[in-house]
Amino acid sequence: MLTEIMYRLFLASLGYAKDVDLAELEIGLEAEGKLEDFGKTFQSLHGKAWDAQKGMTIFALNEASAVLHKLNPATYPMADSWSKGRGKIDITPGKLATALSS
């Protein structure tokens, strides 16, 4: 869908992951002031920087999930809780318009 392609490009231009789920995770963590802690924990747990790994979506989804488990085991009781428990994010023209206007 054209809207999703445009949204991905917009997110990438802001420095977020190209994968919508990972970008939304980054946006949420940033809004809560937890993105820096996430990055440090990712480095500690996986031995590589989040910014370098987030482009490899198939690995990054599971690795991010393990980090969320380490940071918040009450919410993410298993290392794969986030990667398996999330629904597909629907990118609508309205969501794109809202993101572009913010």
Q: What is the pLDDT of residues 44-76, one digit of tens each?
A: 999 999 999 999 988 999 999 999 999 999 999
Burial class (CB in 10 A: 0-12, 13-18, 19+), 65: buried
What is the reported pTM? 0.85
What whole-number distance in Å separates Cα of residue 97 and Cα of residue 6? 10
Q: Is the pLDDT of residue 26 over 90?
A: yes
Percent of the chain at pLDDT above 70?
99
Q: What is the pLDDT of residues 35-44, one digit of tens each?
A: 999 999 999 9
Domain spans in the chain, listed from the N-terminal domain onward: 2-101
> How many other CB atoms are there within 10 angstroms of residue 59's CB atom?
13
What is the pLDDT at residue 87? Answer: 67
What is 11-48 written as a DSSP string? HHHTT--SSHHHHHHHHHHHHTT-HHHHHHHHHHHHSS
What whole-number distance in Å separates Cα of residue 98 and Cα of residue 102? 6
Mean pLDDT, residues 80-99: 79
